[in-house]
Amino acid sequence: MLAETSSSPAPTAAISKPADWSPEQETALLLDLCEAQMEAAMRDSDQSVDMLVRAFTDLVEASRAMSEMASKMPPAHDGMTAGELNRRAEMVSKQINDAIVAFQFYDKLTQRLGHVRHSLTTLALFVCNRTQTQQRDHWHKLLTSLRRLYRTQEERVVFDLVAEGATADAVRAAVSHDENKHSEASSVELF
């Protein structure tokens, strides 16, 4: 009786493991969890960005209409000259161009996260196959197939550094340097 009351129950998982339990299955489960969390976060942000794009489009239309009105105005109107209105309209137009570049980074982010999600799913399937995980060449094939997934320059920089065994700090430093180098949009090549 005394022994029963003084001993605390052991965690359930430690008492009984299901017949199909394995560290590989647990790893796959955690990878799937990461993938599911990313998908949920992306879905939420997609909705917000859609709203933002709609609002931006309305603002752009309003700005365009105001510019047209300003161009038709007589030289002076209620103390504000048409020239001043046009100057402000030009400033708005420049800010719109900057916003167009900024919006595209969300599109790029979505693509990059999509690649990471695909990598997590692929890895979850891979680790469940013990025959594969025991052979080094299968890991090499996995790495090669995942590299093909990463098609932007930024992704490849990170991938190659990690594959070559760079430390997390070295990767961060390289990415920061690369971002500074490529912060200006965009590159054009005519064939």
Partner 1 sequence: MPGVILAVDDSASMRQMVRYTLENAGYEVVQANDGVEALDYAKGSGVDLVLTDVNMPNMDGITLCKELRGLSHYKGVPILMLTTESASDTKSRGKQAGATGWIVKPFNPEQLLATIAKVL
Provide the minimum distance between the beta carbon of 173 and partner 1 in the complex, in angstroms, as a whole number.
21
Among 22, 37, 57, 135, binds partner 1 (CB under 8 A): 57
Question: How far apart are the C-alpha atoms of 138 and 126, rounded to whole Å?
Answer: 9
Binding mask 103-122 for partner 1 (x = CB under 8 A): xxxxxx-xx-----------
Nearer to partner 1, 87 or 156 (CB): 156
Query: Does the protein bind partner 1 through residue 77 (CB under 8 A)?
Result: no
Q: CB count, 10 Å around CB of 25?
A: 14
Query: Does the protein bind partner 1 through residue 21 (CB under 8 A)?
Result: no
In one letter, which amino acid is 54? Answer: R
Nearer to partner 1, 104 or 145 (CB): 104
Question: How far apart are the C-alpha atoms of 63 and 97, rounded to whole Å?
Answer: 13
Nearer to partner 1, 64 or 138 (CB): 64
Q: Please, are residues 116 and 150 in contact by the beta-carbon 8 Å criterion?
A: no
Is residue 95 exposed (0-12), middle (13-18) or buried (19+ Cβ within 10 Å)?
Answer: exposed
Query: Does the protein bind partner 1 through residue 188 (CB under 8 A)?
Result: yes
Q: Identify residues 119-178 at the interface with partner 1 (CB under 8 A).
A: 151-153, 156
Contacts of 32 (CB under 8 A, 6+ apart): 120, 121, 124
Query: Does the protein bind partner 1 through residue 187 (CB under 8 A)?
Result: yes
Provide the minimum distance between the beta carbon of 64 and partner 1 in the complex, in angstroms, as a whole number.
7
Among 33, 69, 101, 163, binds partner 1 (CB under 8 A): 101
Question: How far apart are the C-alpha atoms of 27 and 123, rounded to whole Å?
Answer: 9
Question: How far apart are the C-alpha atoms of 60 and 163, rounded to whole Å?
Answer: 44
Provide the minimum distance between the beta carbon of 176 and partner 1 in the complex, in angstroms, as a whole number.
19
Which pair of tokens denotes residue 155? 């992704």
Which pair of tokens denotes residue 53? 């794009």
Total chain residues near partner 1 (CB under 8 A) = 32
Binding site for partner 1 (CB under 8 A): 49-50, 53, 56-57, 60, 64, 96-97, 100-108, 110-111, 151-153, 156, 184-191
